[in-house]
Structure 1
Amino acid sequence: MRIIVVKGDITDQRADAIVNAANSSLLGGGGVDGAIHRKGGSEILEACRRLRASAYGRGLDAGQAVATTAGRLPAKWVIHTVGPVHSRSEDRSKTLASCYRESLRVADELGASTVAFPAVSAGIYGWPMDDAARIAVETVRATPTKVEEVRFVLFTDEAYEHFQAQM
């Protein structure tokens, strides 16, 4: 598997799947989640509402992943994963790692060969960027998958630098 780091907007990525750092409601929010829902259009929200009406009535648990259409995005699918909120008193790193493993598992089920990830939990969920980058890269490297290319797409210079330092 090829792993690359790029600076840019995940909503512009031409990939089989992009990963959404979603909130547990699956109904949109701020940051990456809001950007994906806005640019992808109502098709993504409608697909998320169908998920909530069926298997995910209470939402998606942290560390889990599920896929929907990508709507008007240049990707085929959006894989929604809910990262943990960072805590100084509780180690939630296994849950963060699970976001990457579960997203790759869903990508394999979809037959995706290219997947673009944001820095899950490193925005409003407060995960320190250096640790978020370490967990992301180590987990992706260690996860068996049929995905041929994983692209970490980082919006800020700081995020890009921390992820690049892990390569």
Structure 2
Amino acid sequence: MNLIKDDMRFNGIFYSFFNQNHIRKLLFIQVMILWSFLDVNAQIDWLQDNNFQLQAIPVLAELKAQKNKNEFEIIVYGRLKPGQYIYSTYTSGKDSPIPSRLYLIQPKAEKIEVVSESETISIFDEMFHKELKVHKNDFLISQKFKLVNPKTMHIVKGIFKYQVCTSKICSLPLQSPFLIEK
């Protein structure tokens, strides 16, 4: 009997706390949360319908030995889908996109020259509201390195970091690994 009275007392407190105004507010919040998920799904559907894939670009890497045995050059080649572009290795000023970069994982080496790249084109980027240099179609980026320990060069591992963009959207920073066996 006490259990039933306790249950009735709890229900009375519960219903008085959550009167109709509270229930309406909770219902409104639930509808807003559901609507935000539907909006995200609509954006994802738009990306899929327009065949925009935020995927890493397959790249080819080549190793060129220099006259000095302690120095070498890494050249990365890539091909973009029509309508896509990546940013140059040089970006202009503050509030610019992430530039494309080559990073060496193995062996330990220091960059010895400025990065060189294939010809870029200038476009007005709507997202950054400025003129930027980009690569479209095929591109090439190279960097010269000097070995810290010349005896360790058997395999060259690295990463090419970049962003793939279209006129409407950009990917998060992506990376394409490369491996060169000597």
What is the TM-score of this pair, normalised by structure 1?
Answer: 0.23
* Larger relative contact order (Cα-Cα within 8 Å, sequence gap ≥ 6): 1
What is the TM-score of this pair, normalised by structure 2?
Answer: 0.22
Q: Which structure shows the bigger proportion of residues in strand conformation?
A: 2
Q: Which structure shows the bigger proportion of residues in helix conformation?
A: 1
